[in-house]
Amino acid sequence: MKAAVLTVSDGVEAGTREDRSGDTLERLLMEEGFLVERRVVADEAAVIAAAIADLADRSAVVLTTGGTGFTPRDVTPEATRTVLDREAPGIAEAIRADALRRTPHALLSRGLAGLRGPTLIVNLPGSPGGCRDGFAVHIGACRGVTNPVGTDRRRHRRISADERRRIYSTTGCVRSRDPFWDSLKIGVIPRDGRSGVVFQCDFNHDSR
**Distance between CA 185 and CA 75 in Å, rounded?**
37
The answer to whether 118 and 60 are in contact (CB under 8 A) is yes
Alpha carbons within 13 angstroms on the beta-carbon side of residue 121 total: 31
Instruction: Say which DSSP state 182 is in.
Output: G
What is the rounded CA–CA span in Å between residue 83 and residue 67? Answer: 16
pTM: 0.70
Pick the CATH number of 2-145 from 3.30.300.30, 3.40.50.1100, 3.40.50.880, 3.40.980.10: 3.40.980.10
pLDDT in tens, the chain (208 residues): 899 999 999 999 999 999 999 999 999 999 988 999 999 999 999 999 999 999 999 999 999 999 999 999 999 999 999 999 999 999 999 998 888 887 778 788 899 999 999 999 999 999 999 999 999 888 876 665 554 434 433 344 444 566 555 554 544 444 444 443 334 333 333 334 433 333 344 433 333 3
**Whole-number CA gyration radius for the chain:** 18
How far is Cα 118 from Cα 147, in angstroms, rounded to an integer?
6
Answer whether 48's CB lies under 8 Å from 79's CB.
yes
Instruction: Of 162, 177, 81, give the one whose Cα is nearest residue 123.
Output: 81
Alpha-carbon torsion 88, 86, 153, 26, what sign?
negative
Indicate the residue type of 12.
Answer: V
C-alpha to C-alpha distance for 62 and 55, rounded to whole angstroms: 7
Residues 6+ apart with CB under 8 A from 173: 167
DSSP for residue 103: -
For residue 123, how many other CB atoms are within 10 A of its CB? 29
Domain(s) labelled CATH 3.40.980.10 in the chain stretch across 2-145
